[in-house]
Amino acid sequence: MINWDPLLLTFKLAFITTVILLVISMPLAYWLSFSKTRVKPVIETLVSMPLVLPPTVLGFYLLVAFSPSNAFGSWLDRWLGLQLVFSFEGLVFASLIYSLPFMVHPIQSGFSSLSKSLIEAAYVLGKSKTATLFRVLLPNIKPSLLTGVVLAFAHTIGEFGVVLMIGGSMPGKTRVASIAIYDEVESLNYDTANTYSLILFAVTFTILLLVYLVNGGFIKQFWK
């Protein structure tokens, strides 16, 4: 019988990661879209690194940094009570870094596509930068926001290398679905691995299909 704990833990991780990334990415993408500072290319490079960096590399450095045997990891444990190695909190932190570009890039693209006259009009009407962001710009990039949310959620579901390095395979704590599939294959339990894989395939296919339908206007045209 299939154990549902890895799947539930996976969706919990993906949900928490997506919510936090949405909050972080909106102001970051706004800054990247309109800032002209010289450090902008450096920040853009750092944000995009997870797209090309092997996940095991990122996972390894996070494992080393957060290890209680190192100064930073020891400081986190002693003063903040955080043990990020082999913990669910560690999975969340690693997922935030690894899925960041999948949220930032669509939102940044949405901001960049807006007319500057829209922003200037908001400023002329006396709106602050914060009010302009939340009341003018964000409502006009809803497809980009939806794309970022879906991509970040789906990408977090499929993580393997990073979560394996930082979290290992602790049942009920860090053993997400991708790790469970690996463990079942290692144990030659192909039927169980196939069940986990089919569920993840169906979920990711469905949410990606929905975002394409919504952004493509198919649903609006269908209901006319």
What domains are there in the chain, each with its CATH number?
A: 5-222 (1.10.3720.10)
Q: Minimal CA–CA distance to 101: which of 146, 142, 154, 44?
A: 44
pLDDT in tens, the chain (224 residues): 688 999 999 999 999 999 999 999 999 998 999 888 889 999 999 999 999 988 889 989 988 888 888 888 888 878 877 788 889 999 999 999 999 999 999 999 999 888 888 878 887 777 777 788 788 888 889 889 988 999 999 999 989 989 999 988 888 899 999 999 999 999 999 999 999 999 999 999 998 888 888 776 544 444 44
Burial status of residue 157 (CB atoms within 10 A of its CB: 0-12, 13-18, 19 or more):
buried
- Whole-structure pTM value: 0.88
Find where tokens 């940094």 sit.
Answer: 65
